Amino acid sequence: MNWVLIPARKGSKGVPGKNTRLLAGSPLVAHVFRAVERAFGAGSIVVSTDEPAVRRLAPEGATVLERPADLAGDAVTLDEVAAAVARELLARGASPDDVLLTVQPTSPFIEPDSLRRAADMVQGGAGCVLSVTDDRHLRWTIEDGVARPLFSERVNRQWLPPTYAETGGVIAAHLGAVAETGTRILEPVELLVLDAVEALDIDTFADWAVAEHFAARRSIVIRADGARSLGMGHVYRALALEHALAAHDLTIVTREDGDRSLGADFLTEASARVTRISDEEDFFELLEHREPDIVVLDVLDTERAYVERVKEHAGFTVCIEDLGEGSHVADLVINDLYTDFYPRENHWYGVQFALLGPQFEATPAREDVASEVRRVLVTFGGTDPGDLTRTALRALAHIGFDGEVVCVLGPGYSHGELELAEFGLTGTVHRAATNLAEIMHESDIALTSAGRTVTELMTQGVPTIALCQNERELTHTHASGPFGVMNLGLGRHVTVEGLASHLSLLIADERLRRSMHDRMRKAVAGRSNQAIAEMIVSSATGQGE
């Protein structure tokens, strides 16, 4: 049997009334009650308190012991309280071999798994188990008035030998040993290492502020893949969303099988918060384990059964760029590329809901167009399956463009080596450029496909000619005249001569370029990743209330 002592006296100097003070809408002590119930059941809970409000909050089935005045003073140690409770439980028929865990109400983020691990460690032979957190730092002391280091070598913190600080959150030992010795610290001591969140112990209002931050965090899973067959837009957007939701407990889940390894490798290099999976069953196992608050599915055309299965393990489900039946049962749908003429209340659409790389928000837009086009950007996405890059370069060569050409190839471009000189052009070819926003900002016009790159160009106000890679891109309503884009349709049907004709028109007509610039800037005015991310979290929180 496992017994969990929750000591909750009413005296608190640092944060008055903290045991019953509301954290994320619940009294502080209630957070620990819920964790213990999930770990062992309410019958394991023993509350030692002198506070009527705490007695009322104790769950049904818990044992509530009145804390006598001689054990409620500031000078009384928790060992004394634990020993008194242990003797009371033995008198009520508990076994000396039972485990007694002390869990402080001031550790609201303790996890049920950690409580179970502590109990198992005691049953496995530990004299006691202490919760600790890694606290290695370059530390100093003062001896005889002289500052002296407590380290032998100045190295980065992570290279120091592990040093652990007690959190005070959990101490576990056998019930009989605590009753007999009057202490919970018994040999051999084993350490239960907790992360910074679980280790938080609220003692001051500064600690409380940190707790409010952690309490507001949501567990979020983003599901996105990148491949030559899929393009890279999904993984780019996942990174943008991760950046905007960085304060939350988040992971990006991506397939690494087949050609999806392209996206998985890209994400792994770009982010530490990536979980690679081999198939969809791995994904559902992860969901079952994490039970996240929010799942974002950046997956094309989901099936209804797929999203319904996700919803079994998610508090709130978001579908992005999804025209499938699964989007009909999602809690929220975001389609920035498609116009919904009969939108439901939970369907957000339009370029104002586009999630873009942070660099496109950090780089200011061009104030105006150049009077003369001297720099042309050519970029056709992460994979460019139709090799429209070469079509664009041939068109520039056809009109005899003698300015600078900047060609950006995505990480999945697989059409061989490309040299501008073979087209009689001068400029630069980049592979997977990391400063694309700056490159766009310095460009006078651009040629690209009709995906999210168009929206990125809108943020910089760069007049754009778009060639669609496939039929799906033909439905992308943002790549059109009202948004400042000259869309020529399916790229495979566009001749070099036809593209050259439109290029000549755009290059010659400054007034047209200025009109396109102005329409672009108006279309994305006020759009921000952070605003979209906060709206997602707010919607999820509102549904859960």
Query: Average of pLDDT values for 516-522?
Result: 96
pLDDT value of position 12: 72
Which of these, 211, 200, 169, lies nearest to 78 by C-alpha position? 169
10-24, 89-103, 236-250, 456-470: range with lowest mean pLDDT: 10-24
Decide if 237 contacts 298 (C-beta within 8 A).
Answer: yes
User: Helices marked H in 291-417 — which ranges?
Assistant: 304-311, 359-362, 388-398
Q: Is residue 102 scored above 90 in pLDDT?
A: yes
What is the predicted pLDDT for the residue at 88?
A: 95
Residue 9 has pLDDT above 90, yes or no: no
In this prediction, residue 461 has a pLDDT band, given cuts at 50, 70 and 90, of: very high
pLDDT beyond 80 at 13: no
Paired sense of beta strands 316-320 and 426-431, if any? unpaired
How much is the average pLDDT of 295-315? 96
Instruction: Please report which helix (H) or strand (E) contains residue 149, including its range.
Output: strand 146-149
Question: What is the model's pLDDT at position 231?
Answer: 83
pLDDT tier at 31 (50, 70, 90 boundaries)?
very high
Domains within the chain, CATH numbers bracketed:
2-214 (3.90.550.10), 217-354+530-544 (3.40.50.11190), 359-523 (3.40.50.2000)
CA dist., res. 9 & res. 508, Å (int): 80
Confidence of residue 541 (pLDDT cuts 50, 70, 90): confident
Mean pLDDT, residues 490-513 taken together: 97
State the pLDDT confidence band at 341, using cuts at 50, 70 and 90.
low
Mean pLDDT in residue range 67-77: 80
Q: Cβ atoms within 10 A of the Cβ of 339, count?
A: 13
Percent of the chain with pLDDT over 90: 81
Name the helix (H) or strand (E) containing 7.
Answer: strand 2-7
Give residue 543's pLDDT. 66
Is the distance from CB of 173 to CB of 184 less than 8 angstroms?
Answer: yes
Instruction: End-to-end CA distance of the chain: give it in Å, rounded.
Output: 35
- The pLDDT assigned to 496 comes to 97
Residue range 346-387, pLDDT digits in tens: 899 889 999 998 899 989 999 999 999 999 999 998 889 999
Check residue 98 and give its pLDDT.
97
Q: Given phi > 0 = left and psi -120 to 50 = alpha, else beta, which region is 140?
A: beta
- pLDDT for the residue numbered 161: 87
| pLDDT of 457 strictly over 60 | yes
How far, in whole angstroms, is CA 193 from its chain's centroid?
24
Which range has the worst mean pLDDT, 15-19, 103-107, 465-469?
A: 15-19
pLDDT-based confidence at 466, cuts 50/70/90? very high
Q: What is the band of 68 on the pLDDT scale with cuts at 50, 70, 90?
A: confident
| pLDDT above 90 for 411 | no
Report the chain's mean pLDDT, rounded to a whole number: 93
Q: What is the pLDDT of residues 36-53, one digit of tens each?
A: 999 999 999 999 999 899
Confidence label for 76 from pLDDT (cuts 50, 70 and 90): confident
User: Residue 441 carries which side chain, given as an amino acid letter?
Assistant: H
